[in-house]
Amino acid sequence: MELLNQHVSIRKFKTQPIAYSLIESVIYSGTKASTTGNMQLYSVVVSETPEVREKLIPHHFNQNVAKSAPVLLTFVADFNRFAKWCEISSANPGYDNFLSFFTAATDAIIVAQNVCVAAENLGLGICYLGTTIYNAREIVKVLNLPKLTFPVTTLAIGYPDEIPGRTDRIPLRGIIHKEKYKNYSGLDIKELYSFKENLESSKQFIKENNKDYLAQVFTDVRYKKADNEFFSQKMMEVLREQGFLM
């Protein structure tokens, strides 16, 4: 519990490599998590060599965390392996559709989170790279991902070379709904986000970005409507290219 509660993302790693047996061991713990119908609809690509990492990093927008990590783990929603098993078993796979993609994506994300917990338990640090879905097409190419696979997230992983402070969270009552969803009033929202808005780091963030409100940093700088729409369309196209929207 303490391990989970003390999680903090690491964005700066030591150059020290990770023993391959450790990488196997954390992925092993990943595969022990629940998986839909015990189909194990995922693969994990372990990229350690500079050659491959250097090809991946631009598609993670050259973030320092991606450059710093000695290992990049790409978590792949994978119906390819299962469909191949069907084909050699006189069974007709019907997984070239959106539901199957989402099912495999869920499986892969569950594995990723178990890998995080296992890695932190061994003194490693991790950071999710959400950029994976933005540039799935390019990552598919670098990693030779076949039809019926799709990269859903990436973990940068290594030995921490920083001790970041814990990140703020909104109060738990803002997350939990009893019995049914209770929608938020303006006042609810104001209360839930006031702690975050009043952090020194938030005020700094607003100032640096020349905004009036913290939320504007998200909508106007970090997660913009035009970008979201551009990458939504691209992601759909890649889902089609990968055979998940037949």
Encoded tokens for 216? 């504007």
What are residue 85's DSSP bridge partners?
A: none
Binding flag, residue 22, a second copy (CB under 8 A): no
94-133: which residues touch a second copy (CB under 8 A)? Answer: 94-95, 97-100, 102-103, 105-106, 109-110, 112-114, 116-118, 121-122, 126-128, 130, 133
| Given 25, 63, 137, 191, the residue binding a second copy (CB under 8 A) | 25
Tokens 């700088």 locate to: 221
67-96: which residues touch a second copy (CB under 8 A)? Answer: 76, 80-82, 84-86, 88-95
> How far is C-alpha 92 from the chain's CA centre?
31
Binding flag, residue 45, a second copy (CB under 8 A): yes
In whole angstroms, the minimum distance from the beta carbon of 9 to a second copy comes to 6
| Given 198, 204, 210, 232, the residue binding a second copy (CB under 8 A) | 232
Stretch that binds a second copy, among 11-19, 44-52, 59-67, 156-164 (CB under 8 A): 44-52
Encoded tokens for 86? 């069907």
Stretch that binds a second copy, among 11-19, 25-33, 60-68, 157-165 (CB under 8 A): 25-33
Compute CA distances 208 → 81, 85, 158, 166, whole Å: 48, 54, 30, 21
How far apart are the C-alpha atoms of 151 and 172, rounded to whole Å? 31
177 CB contacts (<8 Å, ≥6 apart)? none
| Given 16, 31, 62, 204, the residue binding a second copy (CB under 8 A) | 31
Site string for a second copy, 51-70 (x = CB under 8 A): xx------------------
171-200: which residues touch a second copy (CB under 8 A)? Answer: 172, 174-184, 186, 189-190, 192-193
* 75 neighbors 111 (Cβ within 8 angstroms): yes
Encoded tokens for 225? 């409507």
> How far is C-alpha 182 from the chain's CA centre?
28
Tokens 């998940």 locate to: 244
Tokens 């939990």 locate to: 176
Stretch that binds a second copy, among 11-19, 59-67, 140-148, 156-164 (CB under 8 A): 140-148
For 157, phi and psi rounded to 5 degrees? Answer: -145, 140
In whole angstroms, the minimum distance from the beta carbon of 122 to a second copy comes to 8
Tokens 């019907």 locate to: 94
| Given 14, 169, 203, 240, the residue binding a second copy (CB under 8 A) | 169
Binding flag, residue 207, a second copy (CB under 8 A): no
